[in-house]
Chains A and B, each alone.
Chain A
Amino acid sequence: MLTRRHFLQSTALAGATLLIGFRLDPRPALAAGEALEPNAFVRIAPDNTVTIIGKHIEMGQGSYTGLATILAEELDADWSQVRVEPAPADAERYNNLLWGPMQGTGGSTAMANSWEQLRRAGATARAMLVEAAARDWGVPASEITVDRGVVSHAPSGRRATFGELVPKAKALTPPAQVPLKDPKDWKLVGKPLLRVDGRAKTDGSAQFTMDVKLPGMLTALIARPPRFGATVKSFDAGPALQVKGVTHVVPVPSGVAVVATSFWAARKGREALRVTWDESRAETRGTDELYAAYRTLARRPGKFARRDGDPASALRGAAKVFEAVYEFPYLAHAPMEPLDAVVRLAPGECEMWAGSQIPTVDQQVVAQIVGLPSAKVRINTMLAGGSFGRRATPNGDVAGEAAAVAKAVGGAAPVKLVWTREDDLQGGRYRPLYVHRLRGGLDVRGDIVAWEQRIVGQSILKGTPFEAVQVKNGIDQTSVEGASSLPYAVPNLSVELHTTDVGVPVLWWRSVGSTHTAFSTETFLDELAHAAGRDPLEVRRTLLLKHPRHLATLDLAAEKAGYREPLPAGRARGIALHESFGSVVAQIAEVSLRPDGLPKVERVTCAVDCGTAINPDIVRSQMEGGIGYGLAAAMWSEITIVKGRVQERNFDGYRPLRIDEMPAIDVHIVTTGAAPTGVGEPGVPPIAPAVANALFHLTGRRVRRLPFARLAPAGTRTA
């Protein structure tokens, strides 16, 4: 594998070019008409810049760089002439081909759904430049070559830049059929190119929604009810309006908005505001009550998501039967940039700035609120300061709030709606709370003959536009994915689901169903392996004979981790393997014990099969980040609700992972020629079970409830 350092050293001038060459263009630099625009994804200007139109948002996962790489490869552009610009909201041109019709980024699909589309888009533009040169020079197109942004005809010695060919290429009709490169000819795909957004993110110039400033713009905070489902009964705007800088106090569907000339004034205004809530329809249960109710439900049969053989009989006939009940808390996404959106209303039109994962949904929601056709709502997609699924709401919640406030102040000024960190953690849309009950049966030889899994929890998709496609026969696929798709060869296997109805808003959270199914399945399998006296790696290998990708990924992780080599005293290894979003990831965690008995993860070896790694360094960074994000949740994260009220308020109570808790990580990529699959999410699921399995091998303790922090009673935890 080519490392970035080696790549930079081996490419003359590349280091310098890459360091200075990139720019994120917020707006087109040229008037339409001057540039070559053969399709919706690329614009080549006479000044020789190549602007790639990114239909997916950049929220940290590297999508802009990946999209640009795919297109620039087929175009044979020089990487230093490439810029990326966010696409306008348009479900037709910028549809997510894997889950549209809508423009959206999620489910780790940005590269997978763009791969063919952008290869063709780049090859089409290239063909037009070649044809323009052929006609201009009076030579056969077949004799023309393109390399790093230069079009050449060797026999005549003629050369031209893309920019020079633009005026002639513009007159041509894009060809219907274009050849795509043989992978052996790739110059950019598979290389560790630097990110296009890297420089702006090291000098403070990167523009997030939070940084948008418009003339006269006001900042709004919303007072939302203390319990989910409550509504405003009455409010006294007086004390808030007396705060210097507060301009408006207005009711909106989600609460009462305090609007001011600055964030600080809005915050002080909201503190002064007095609201009386109608809690007659509010959810008043707490998480303890939900766990108890879910545990009871888990003892009863649910709806089948999968049934192979006859697990009930097989359990009755098994030599040994094991049972485990797992509990998973509500989780907040807590991206570093709190939620926000800016809306400017003008007569007959509306403009919004946001870092939304589903801009066309936001566009429709805003249009409906402000009473305009969608086409009159212009969306400016900003960089998102993390999201992890939170900025992908099927009902455009944050955009809708911003539009409601802008409308409520009568379009008096552009409005920036900001959620504080407290709003973010207490405002719902959590990864649902789940209880799993697993039963497994071993025969006399120790082979697994029965596997019965029941999952209890809320549906993420019920009541959303995604319900029609992803909820079938009462089974929300996002509740059971990872469990219903268990790859292990067990002859009698069932997965059942109980979908509960709770007034706590829920949402997908980085890796969705796999956030919980990977944990229960991979730790329970480990438990059965231990009961049978077998090695956890060998048990998995035996059960994966029909899954060569899984097997190869697992073997690579085991080899690189030195799985067979002894560890020093006080350390143990744990394995987990999980497929999500088309990619297979195996992780081996090496764990020691903290003084308070919690696991300290020293090192993680990660292997990933994500098909073609468009940018191997970004694949590595997504695995590193996925491990850190998953480990944060596994160690510390839990939203606790008491009598309907969320207890955690900020990062002091909802503890993030910090640098001293981050393990060393080695990432190894399985090389295949397959089309690219996801990398944004698949790194998350295996880490928690890998650590839990290591902890068992170290201490004999099985983790049944997340987070691990629960293992050490409060007061005994060390910092």
Chain B
Amino acid sequence: MGTLRINGAARTVDADGDVPLLWVLRDELGLTGTKYGCGIAQCGACTVHVDGRAARSCVTPAAGLGDREIVTIEGVSGNVAQAVQGAWRRLDVAQCGYCQSGQIMSAIALLSEKPRPADADIDAAMAGNVCRCATYVRIRAAIHEAARTLGG
């Protein structure tokens, strides 16, 4: 048993052994917006924020997180998150939608660090997030649009 700080609240979880954060979020806490896609940090569907930075929860042992701040798609907030989610919606980025929580979390982390990313910055920050529907054209456009919204 241990305590994790998730979406601003302390949650007691049964996170012993090597269980990755992803499965604590999904199976134990019912935070199913964070997705399983590969289990080996190759697809990014499981992306969450740990202390504000994008992290692949499928390979992040829950036991090692201590009091670090974990934010999932369900708890993400603030003007960057609003700008990103709004742009995603207006451009209708999502097709099947399964990877989009991870895409959005990576995009928010990028824009929080680089308010006006160039295409190369987007490539670098988003190349770890796979979309098999290949919504990449709109992901790129939505990140630029969110940056404009934020006045970056």
Contacts and interface: CB of A to CB of B under 8 A. Distances in A.
Interface of A: 4, 8, 19, 59-62, 194-195, 197-208, 210-211, 213, 219, 244, 262-264, 334-338, 383-388, 420-421, 617-618, 621, 624-625, 627-629, 631-632, 650-652, 656-660, 662, 664-665
A178 to B, nearest CB: 32
B73 to A, nearest CB: 3
Given A262-B27, A629-B132, A662-B134, A421 B96 contact: no
A656 B17 CA distance: 32
Interface string B130-142: 1111111111100
A172 to B, nearest CB: 38
Contact of B35 (A202, A210, A264): A210
Nearest to B72: A204
B137 A665 contact: yes
B126 interface: yes
Given A194-B89, A336-B35, A385-B96, A652 B42 contact: yes
B130 A651 contact: yes
A339 B9 CA distance: 33
A106 B89 CA distance: 26
Given A263-B27, A336-B132, A337-B35, A198 B89 contact: yes
A264 B122 contact: no
Chain A interface main SS type? loop
B99 interface: yes
B147 interface: no
A264 B72 CA distance: 19
A651 B38 contact: yes
B37 A338 contact: yes
Contacts, number: 181
A199 B35 contact: no
Interface string B75-87: 0000000000100
Interface of B: 17, 19-20, 23, 26-28, 30-40, 42-43, 45, 72-74, 85, 88-101, 104, 122-123, 126-127, 129-140
Nearest to A267: B39
Contacts of A657: 134, 136
Contacts of A388: 132
A546 to B, nearest CB: 34
Contacts of B31: 204
B89 A199 contact: yes
B39 A625 contact: no
B98 A208 contact: yes
Given A202-B89, A652-B42, A624 B135 contact: yes
Contact of A203 (B42, B85, B131): B85
Nearest to A383: B97
Contact of B43 (A4, A336, A383, A631): A336
Given A264-B19, A621-B138, A659-B139, A201 B97 contact: yes
A125 B97 CA distance: 32
A219 B27 CA distance: 10
Contacts of B26: 211, 263
Interface centre among B26, B89, B104, B123 (most CB of A within 10 A): B89
B37 A202 contact: no
Given A383-B96, A651-B42, A625 B133 contact: yes
Contacts of A194: 89-90, 92
Nearest to A206: B97
A335 B37 CA distance: 9
A605 to B, nearest CB: 13
Given A201-B100, A208-B98, A335 B132 contact: yes
Contacts of B92: 4, 194-195, 198, 617-618, 621
A337 B127 contact: no
Contacts of A386: 95-96, 98, 132-133
A293 B131 CA distance: 36
B114 to A, nearest CB: 15
19 contacts: A60-B94, A194-B92, A195-B92, A197-B94, A201-B100, A203-B85, A210-B36, A211-B26, A336-B37, A336-B99, A337-B98, A338-B36, A385-B98, A625-B134, A625-B135, A628-B131, A632-B134, A656-B43, A657-B136
Contacts of B133: 60, 336, 386, 625, 628-629
Interface centre among B26, B90, B132, B138 (most CB of A within 10 A): B132
Given A264-B23, A383-B97, A650-B42, A334 B138 contact: no
Contact of A659 (B35, B37, B74, B127): B127
A657 B23 CA distance: 26
Contact of A658 (B90, B101, B127, B135): B127
B100 A202 contact: yes
A617 B94 CA distance: 12
A650 B123 contact: no
Nearest to B94: A201
Nearest to A617: B92
A240 B34 CA distance: 28
B134 A421 contact: no
Contacts of B32: 204, 207, 210-211, 213
A488 B98 CA distance: 40
Nearest to B16: A244
B95 A62 contact: yes
B4 to A, nearest CB: 15
B105 to A, nearest CB: 9
Nearest to A667: B137
In the A-B complex, the 4 residue pairs with the smallest Cβ-Cβ separation, listed nearest first, are A628-B134, A204-B33, A385-B98, A201-B97
Given A203-B33, A627-B134, A652 B98 contact: no
A658 B19 CA distance: 28
Contacts of B72: 204
B101 A204 contact: yes
Nearest to B119: A660
A210 B88 CA distance: 23
Nearest to A420: B39
Given A336-B96, A658-B127, A659-B136, 17 more contacts: A60-B94, A195-B92, A202-B89, A204-B73, A208-B98, A334-B132, A336-B132, A338-B37, A385-B97, A387-B96, A388-B132, A420-B39, A421-B39, A625-B133, A627-B134, A650-B39, A658-B130
